[in-house]
Amino acid sequence: MTTTDDRSTHSEIQANEQGRVTIPAWLRHVTGIRAGSSLVAYEEDGRAVLETREHLADRIRRDVAASWSGDGSAVDELIAERRAEATREAAEEDAS
């Protein structure tokens, strides 16, 4: 049994005896899930999450890009961090 509100943004679904659920058609449509789609399933904050591999890869790319700050490239940042670390280590060795 599935109930959907007027805006088709929420559905209540039930798991059958084997724990299987049917993803409502409207949700498959808006998320791009098609017959044969490969989905990744995981738990996040007590929620069961399903997403396509393509969506997961896009989300990871966006998260990684957003985590880098500044105008330089990731390589430039890494080189600057390594140089700063080498400078600190050299200073510690001189102090010993």
Q: What does 43-85 look like in DSSP terms, one character per residue?
A: EETTEEEEEEHHHHHHHHHHHHHHH--SSS-HHHHHHHHHHHH
Give the pLDDT confidence score for residue 65 in this predicted structure: 81
| Contact criterion met (CB below 8 Å) for 61 and 39 | no
pTM over 0.75: no
Instruction: Provide the 8-state DSSP code for 19.
Output: S
24-76 pLDDT, tens digit each: 999 999 999 999 999 999 999 999 999 999 999 999 998 888 877 656 677 88
